[in-house]
A and B are shown apart, each in its own frame.
Chain A
Amino acid sequence: MKLIELSNYTLPPTGTGNGLKKFYFALSKGDMCHIQADSPDDAHLFLRAVAMLEYSKFCDYRFAGKKINFSDHTNLLPYKKKMGYVTNDAAMISNMSIRENLLLMRYYFENSFSVDIDDNVKNLCNVFEIYDKLDVRPGDLRPTELRSAIMVREFTKSPEILLLERPEDFARQTKFNFIVELVKKMSLSGVPVIFISYNADFIREFSNKEIIIAKGNLTTVKT
């Protein structure tokens, strides 16, 4: 059973990329896809397409066999919620503290401000050394700390699909092993991961499928 299926996708170029020409892509549980593209903008565009942040008029997106209706953005929200989006353009909401950012989904869906971060999140915050900065605004954090906070938020939302862009940039060199451990845990639990990475060890360890984007043409190869 395919978890997601994208077909008839054609996306215009962004930045220095070529865009994506009509392609088909399917992702099943346990897939660990590494993206190799001649332009980083195309690879990023593909991640945005999987995250439903980019779509075209005639595209066809199926999530667990169910066709997604793009006519209303609220139809996409339940599916977007199921995706961990750890990319260069993932952000924190600047007028909320880090704690509030980490708790945003719980505040909203549990409809209460009395919830607090659970032990798992606390542990990860400790590991990435952001625990003492939970009550400051994102603007007061160093870029690496901010990326770590984004990663903690996305990993702890129990995603069904994980989209990773250069995970090696999301923590200090000494903490990269923890990211590897987290991704390993995800892969063992069958969560499919699509990632862009320039770390050869990371690619070797996780990749079981290769997505090749050359001049806007997307092909998938099993490795």
Chain B
Amino acid sequence: MNQTAGYIGRRTLKSFKHILDLFAFNYRIFKLIFKRQKTGRVLIRRVILEQVYFTAVQALPLIIPVALILGSMLIIQFSRVSNQYDIGKTMVLLIIRELGPGITALLVILRSATSIAIETGYMKVFHEIDTIEMAGIDPIRMICLPRLIGITTAIICLFIIFDLVSILGGYTIIWIFTYINLGDFLGQMGKAIIPTDIIVGMVKALCFGIIITVTCLYRGFNVKKNITGLPLATSKAAIECFFYCLIINVVISIVFYM
């Protein structure tokens, strides 16, 4: 009994410490945003652009079909339940409020977050982070800051694209199988959507971007001097990101809609 209680206690303390470490790491990166150092801006700007290109632009061929398929599938199922009544409202409820940010975050975790954890872990194991430090450059400013800004921006952009494309996909299905015209469909959506929906979507995308980047960078930076620690850190980073995103999703929904 004592052993079990001890185990649970140790695990709880470890998890609590991990969460505090993540917050501390997050604070260190955010502090740099407000420091507004003049040196290295061109270098950081370039990494931000590369990150946005890699996370958002290169992900478009993946996210567009996923959004189209999901949007149309949802409409098919919900039009049966609601008998074509309030389809626009259903779209708003499901896609803009919940699925849009969630699926976008999931795709970013699968595609970009894991690669960040691998990249930083690799840099740690092969002493590239030491090299950056020996050049007098802060690795947090050069590696973490541009990735945080780049990925968060990319997630917000992808979220908007996902919403638009899935609504378009949904309307395509409606156009094929029903007699509802675009004006009615958009009218229904216009009535259903409230400014809070847009704000919530953006807040979720922003929070997901921060959580995903910070968790993956933290895991990457924590790889010890052994390459075998890299796959473990990557899988932990991916699972953790997904879990934290789900929790944040619930918390934000409760805060705004309850």
Taking Cβ atoms with an 8 Å cutoff, the residues of A that contact B are 51, 53, 73-74, 76-78, 80-81, 83, 85, 89-95, 104-105, 107-109, 111-113, 157
CA distance A113 to B38 in the complex (A): 15
7 closest pairs, A vs B, by CB?
A: A81-B136, A108-B40, A89-B127, A91-B127, A85-B134, A77-B136, A91-B131
Query: Measured between C-beta atoms, what is the minimum distance from A113 to chain B in Å?
Result: 6
Partner of A105, one of B122, B126, B127, B135: B135
* Dominant secondary structure at the B interface: helix
Q: Which A residues are in CB contact (< 8 Å) with B14? A: none
In the complex, A104 Cα to B130 Cα: how many Å? 14
When distances are taken between beta carbons in the complex, the residues of chain A under 8 Å from B136 are: 77-78, 80-81, 105, 108-109
Chain B residue with Cβ nearest A94? B128
* Contact in complex: A111, B41 (CB < 8 Å): yes
Q: Which residues from chain A contact B142 at a C-beta distance below 8 Å?
A: 108
Choose among B39, B126, B130, B134 the residue that contacts A108 (Cβ–Cβ < 8 A): B39
A107-B42 contact in complex given A73-B138, A91-B126, C-beta closer than 8 Å = yes
Cβ-defined contact, B134 with A80, below 8 A: yes
Beta-carbon contact of B137 and A73 below 8 Å: no
Knowing A109-B40, A111-B40, say if A80 contacts B133 (CB, 8 Å). yes
Interface centre among A78, A89, A94, A108 (most CB of B within 10 A): A108
Residues of chain B within 8 A (CB-CB) of A113 are 42, 46
Contact: A90 with B127, CB < 8 Å? yes
Answer yes or no: B258 CB below 8 A from chain A CBs: no
Q: Give the residues in chain B near A91, CB-CB below 8 Å.
A: 126-128, 130-131
Q: Taking the nearest CB of chain B, how far is it from the CB of A141, in angstroms? A: 14
* B73 is an interface residue with CB less than 8 A from chain A: no
Q: How far does the alpha carbon of A94 sit from the alpha carbon of B43 in the complex, in Å?
A: 16
Q: Is B248 an interface residue (CB 8 A)?
A: no
Query: Which chain B residue has the least Cβ–Cβ distance from A95?
Result: B119
A112 to B134, CA, bound (A): 20
The complex places the Cα of A2 from the Cα of B119 at a distance, in Å, of 40
Q: List 24 A-B contacts (CB under 8 A).
A: A53-B130, A73-B133, A73-B138, A74-B138, A78-B136, A80-B133, A80-B134, A81-B134, A83-B134, A92-B131, A93-B128, A94-B123, A94-B126, A94-B128, A95-B119, A104-B137, A105-B135, A107-B40, A107-B42, A108-B43, A108-B136, A111-B39, A111-B42, A112-B42
